[in-house]
A and B are shown apart, each in its own frame.
Chain A
Amino acid sequence: MTKKYLGQRMTRTEDPRLLTGQALFVDDVEIPGMLYAAFLRSDYAHALIRSIDVSAAQNRPGVVAVYTAQDLGDFWQHGPPLVPAPHSVEGVVFHSRTQVPLAKDKVRYVGEAVAVVFAESRYIAEDALEEIAVDYEPLETVADLERALEAGAPLVHDDLDSNMASHLVQRKGDYAAAREKADLVIKRRIVIDRGAAGAMENRGIVAHWDEKSQHLTMWDTTQAPIPVRNGLAKILGLSESQVRVIAPFVGGGFGPKIMMFLAEEVLVPWGAIQLNRPIKWIEDRRENFFATTQERGQTHDAEIALTRDGRILGVSHEFLHDTGAYNPYGLTIPLNTQSHSMSAYDVANYYSDMKVVFTNKMITTPVRGAGRPQGIFLMERLLDIAAKELGKDPIEIRKRNYIPPDAFPYNHEIIDQAFAPLVFDSGNYRPALEKAAAMIGYEKFVKEEQPRLRAEGQHVGIGIVSFVETTGVGPYEGSRVTVEASGKISVATGVGTQGQGHFTSFAQIVADQLGVSPRDVRLVTGDTSEFHWGTGTFASRGSVVAANAIHAAAKSVRAKILRLASKALETPEEELELDDGQVRVADIPRQSISLGELAVLANPLRGAVEPGTEPGLEATAYYGPQYGATASGSHAMIIKVDPETMMVEIKRYVAVEDCGTMLNPLIVEGQVHGGVALGIGNSYYEQLIYDDNGQLLNASLADYLIPSATEVPRVEVGHEETRSPLNELGSKGAGEAGAIPVPALFAQALEDALADYNVEILEAPMSPNKLFELLHGKEKEQ
């Protein structure tokens, strides 16, 4: 069977609706009689709630109800832990503390919801918020990770002895012994701080309870509609079949929209049932900074031990991970950091001591990269510093340490985010590095252009880094493929879509199997009434897990088609081919039957069927990988810095990615471009700045700088393809790859550009201010 569509740069089927303003986003949902919700959020990062007076708000005309924690009765419960506690891991310490719908006696972060107002309009609801009087007794806050662990620090959770949420040590080999044998040990403190996902669409929910049919429909900007449906049904005391969650077009996910059962997701449907009115809640941008999850905060004390010819003997680090005020997402992010701290390199000895710390800040859950950027930053920085000391160049030292292509599957002997052994399924890292170097003209730049530009007084630098990315993790996804009487194909899967082009790339898979055009394949994602089982879009897994489930289902349907067509055309299956929506006898095109006709044949209205047959041309299949497929790549950049203004200009940016088989290269490139843009933000422009009192100081897009078209350069994308042996399509994930190596790359390139200042960049994000301070510190030393 010839592959016609898979791997093609097809334009997207869903675009015309989006381009003409005809696509449904959550805030577009209008239901007669709809109420609007607004949440009163704490201004204090840590305070006792002495009393709440809602009477003035309740009496405002247009306000239907105001609720505080006291009003929720038995419904007030801690949210479920979303990621299981790692009880299976030896020696782990883990205290699970999950969020509540409304703060009861204490608020633990700025933005924690304290009361909710339901009113006839959003304007009235927000007016009413101003009339709610909360008597807070402020407590001392903990915002700094180290101070949070000091004896006598204010406790975020009073029932614990300290703010340490978790402690986990991972070991591979014997680092201490390796250190003894090393010719060089580099020891540094590396600090990474928080960033926001910053999707253009903020969160939103519309809940509609139909009292007569006892059914709840909820539109939600979630990345995980099925788990939300399941959890909500349980929380609300309903049967799963009474709840339908729809994630329509969603304006960007990037991670936080997979966090579930925050206050709003629980109270809006609850309110809809209590009041028997549809309720809408749309987050505004300022709220998004406080009330939507974020991540990246970690502090590492790290060491790398090497031989004098640049061979890594071992890596060791002790780090603190900021989980915010609660930890519903378990250890996923810091485990990812550990999984990526050895990166693409063959590191025989590894020691990692991870402490997760509660702070009076918003909860952290994955944001594009999900802990991987921190691990990559750590390794690449240590390696670059070692390279400088040893007089090796960045390319040479990386090549010396890569896991060789014949060493796969490579078992790192530590556990990953699924508490299973970290195994890289496949990889071939040198070609990506060499391609990136070639594409950017590394040698020529270093030997000719850079010296020339430097002689002119310009500060230009070049950087090149490698990365790996664990993707395509389980547990599973599923899909149902159906041939309809019209001859068109309908496909349903449990994941949602937030711009990744599933409607097209997944259709390409089906199109190849069934011999139709992808434009005739109609995909439904993110609707729990269309497909019942699944987990969601996260960890760059759609193109692996959902895609392979769709592939398997399509193959089953193909088999059914051939079987039935063989009977209908009285020809053996081997002599049949599927093309153009028809089943044809090879070489006798006139002998054919259309898929639509077959579908009708397969679903008779009358007559008998053979026992054991299933009606229709339909199949459902699931795919669950044993472990995730590991993508990889190499990025390179040429950057110019003005050492007076600290403004940077990225002259060239090259991204070589290896995500195995690409379903649609156009879409993959789009993902890489977008990931790099977010990575550039994480490197130089974006940082969520909290003060010592846990106050977020830059909760607006005017002060939190998401890169615009003048900050993001053209990204030249190169492809390598190391197919994954774990799945039939050979695919690996690609959604987060663009973002992961960028801070490490920035650091290397900036250092190179400012070589005459001899600075060392050990933190991310950097910023013009921080760079200024670094340079000035240096000047003073001289």
Chain B
Amino acid sequence: MKIEGEYVFNGPREEVWKLVRDPEVLATALPGTQSLEQVGENEYEGAMNVRIGPVAGAFSGRIVVSNEVAPESCTLSVEGRGKPGFAKGTGDVHLLDQGDGTTLMKYEGEMQIGGRLASVGQRLIDTASKSMIRQGLDALNEALEARVSAKATGQEEIEYEAPSEAEFAAAVARDMAGEMLSSARARIILIVLAIAIVIVIAAVVLTNSGGG
């Protein structure tokens, strides 16, 4: 099946590239991710819970990054297996500076699916995969915005609307923090995310407790 689409990030291309170039962040942003580990120079292994309609279960997989042309493009290869079946795919990611402070991301790829996912999940896979990618990119965008704001104002206080997947991301961040991550880069991003989320939750709590 083909996976393709576009997304506009609220931030400069270099920042987006940094986030996107790091598959850990991408994978972290995907709902259901349980763990992730770097196992090679451009190689990562992880586990994720998948639910597509009647098909649900744990997947374990591997991501490989290649063909890097910073800050423009790269190729991601993904391979996952689990009770619901298996998935194998390759995708190209392109970033274009829109000139107005935003970045257009174009992604295009092919995915092979097998097992239960393929045989009973067919009709749902399209929608489900789009939804998962959108949620992931939204979370990524929020992380980007938080980071850009933090840089711009030099503060640690950030205000923005709580994303509906905050709890998701929070849970993931919690799990991630429990894992041994060697990449310093990843740690920074996670700290940024965690701070952002904490502040968001605090903001929500404060606004709610103020009456509504």
Contacts and interface: CB of A to CB of B under 8 A. Distances in A.
A touches B (Cβ under 8 A): yes
Given A130-B57, A699-B119, A699-B120, A693 B112 contact: yes
A695 B118 contact: yes
A586 B85 CA distance: 76
Given A693-B114, A695-B114, A43 B86 contact: yes
Given A693-B114, A698-B122, A44 B57 contact: no
A43 B122 contact: no
A290 B118 CA distance: 12
The size class of the interface chain B forms with chain A is 10 to 19
Contacts of B120: 286, 699-700, 703
B83 A700 contact: no
Interface string A677-701: 0000000000000010101111110
Contacts of A695: 113-115, 118-119
Given A44-B86, A130-B57, A703 B122 contact: yes
B119 A697 contact: yes
B44 to A, nearest CB: 20
Contact of B83 (A130, A289, A691, A698): A130
B112 A43 contact: no
B187 interface: no
Interface in B67-93: 81, 83, 85-86, 88
A110 interface: yes
Contacts of A289: 119
B118 A697 contact: yes
Nearest to B122: A697
Contact of B119 (A44, A130, A138, A696): A696
Contacts of A691: 118
Contacts of B113: 695
A695 B115 CA distance: 7
Nearest to A290: B119
Interface residues of A, number: 19
A700 B119 contact: yes
Contacts of B123: 703
Interface string B87-126: 0100000000000000000000000111110111011000
Pick from A43, A45, A110, A138 the residue with the most CB of B within 10 Å.
A43
Nearest to A134: B81
Contact of A696 (B83, B88, B118): B118
Contacts of B83: 130
A696 B81 CA distance: 17
Nearest to B60: A133
A43 B115 CA distance: 4
Interface string A137-167: 0100000000000000000000000000000
Contacts of A700: 119-120
A104 to B, nearest CB: 20
Nearest to B86: A43
Nearest to B113: A695
B58 to A, nearest CB: 9
Interface in A1-34: none
B1 to A, nearest CB: 9
A504 B122 CA distance: 45
Contacts of B116: 43, 286
A44 B122 contact: no
Contacts of B115: 43, 110, 695
B59 to A, nearest CB: 12
Nearest to B54: A700
Nearest to A692: B112
A43 B84 CA distance: 9
B205 to A, nearest CB: 40
Contacts of B81: 136
Pick from B81, B88, B112, B119 the residue with the most CB of A within 10 Å.
B119
A80 to B, nearest CB: 30
A693 B111 CA distance: 12
A43 B112 CA distance: 12
B29 to A, nearest CB: 27
A685 B134 CA distance: 35
Interface string A37-55: 0000001110000000000
Interface string A696-726: 1111100100000000000000000000000
Contacts of A286: 116, 119-120
A44 B114 contact: yes
A45 B113 CA distance: 12
Contacts of A699: 119-120
Contacts of B85: 43
Contacts of B86: 43-44, 138
A110 B119 CA distance: 10
A693 B89 CA distance: 13
A527 to B, nearest CB: 36
Nearest to A131: B83
B178 to A, nearest CB: 23
A43 B57 contact: no
B163 to A, nearest CB: 33
A130 B116 CA distance: 12
A374 B57 CA distance: 41
Nearest to A289: B119
A45 B122 CA distance: 17
A6 to B, nearest CB: 47
A136 B120 CA distance: 22
A696 B112 CA distance: 13
Contacts of A698: 119, 122
Nearest to B84: A43
A130 B86 CA distance: 14
A45 B120 CA distance: 16
A329 B160 CA distance: 68
A703 B119 CA distance: 9
Contacts of B122: 697-698, 703
B54 to A, nearest CB: 9
A696 B120 CA distance: 9
A45 B65 CA distance: 27
A289 B88 CA distance: 23
Contacts of A43: 85-86, 114-116
B30 to A, nearest CB: 22
Contacts of A696: 118-119
Contacts of A693: 112, 114
B86 to A, nearest CB: 6
A700 B118 CA distance: 11
Interface of A: 43-45, 110, 130, 136, 138, 286, 289-290, 691, 693, 695-700, 703
Pick the 7 closest A-B CB pairs, nearest first: A43-B115, A699-B119, A695-B118, A130-B83, A695-B114, A700-B120, A43-B114
9 contacts: A43-B85, A43-B114, A138-B86, A138-B88, A289-B119, A695-B114, A696-B118, A697-B119, A697-B122
Interface of B: 57, 81, 83, 85-86, 88, 112-116, 118-120, 122-123
Given A290-B119, A695-B119, 9 more contacts: A43-B85, A43-B114, A43-B115, A44-B86, A110-B115, A286-B116, A286-B119, A696-B118, A697-B118
